[in-house]
Amino acid sequence: MKFSPGSAVEFRTFLPSDHERLVQLWHECDLTRPWNDPADDIRQCIENPSSELLVAIAGDILCGSVMMGCDGHRGWVYYLAVDPKTRHQGIGRTLMDYAETWMRARKVPKIQAMIRHDNLAVRGFYGRLNYRDGDVQLVQKWLTDETS
For residue 50, the SS3 value is coil
Q: What are phi and psi of 75, to 5 degrees?
A: -110, 145
Count of alpha carbons within 13 angstroms of residue 79, beta-carbon side: 29
Element (H, E) at 46: helix 38-47
Q: By CB under 6 A, is residue 25 in contact with ligand COA?
A: no
34's torsion region: left (phi>0), alpha (psi -120 to 50) or beta? alpha
Q: By CB under 6 A, is residue 19 in contact with ligand COA?
A: no
**Taking CB under 6 A as the criterion, which residues in 104-123 touch ligand COA?**
113, 115, 119, 121-122
Q: By CB under 6 A, is residue 65 in contact with ligand COA?
A: no
Which member of 91, 99, 103, 108 binds ligand COA (CB under 6 A)? 91
Which member of 74, 85, 128, 134 binds ligand COA (CB under 6 A)? 128
Nearer to ligand COA, 29 or 68 (CB): 29
CA 18, CA 111: separation in Å to the nearest integer? 26
Which residues on adjacent β-strands are paired with residue 78?
67
Which residues on adjacent β-strands are paired with residue 61?
58
Strand ordering across the sheet containing 75-82: 9-13, 51-58, 61-70, 75-82, 111-113
Q: Which stretch binds ligand COA (CB under 6 A): 12-20, 34-42, 88-96, 140-148?
A: 88-96
Q: By CB under 6 A, is residue 36 in contact with ligand COA?
A: no
CB of 49 to ligand COA, least distance (A): 24
Which member of 14, 18, 22, 29 binds ligand COA (CB under 6 A)? 29
Nearer to ligand COA, 13 or 119 (CB): 119
Give the binding site for ligand COA (CB under 6 A): 29, 31, 80-82, 87-93, 113, 115, 119, 121-122, 124-125, 128
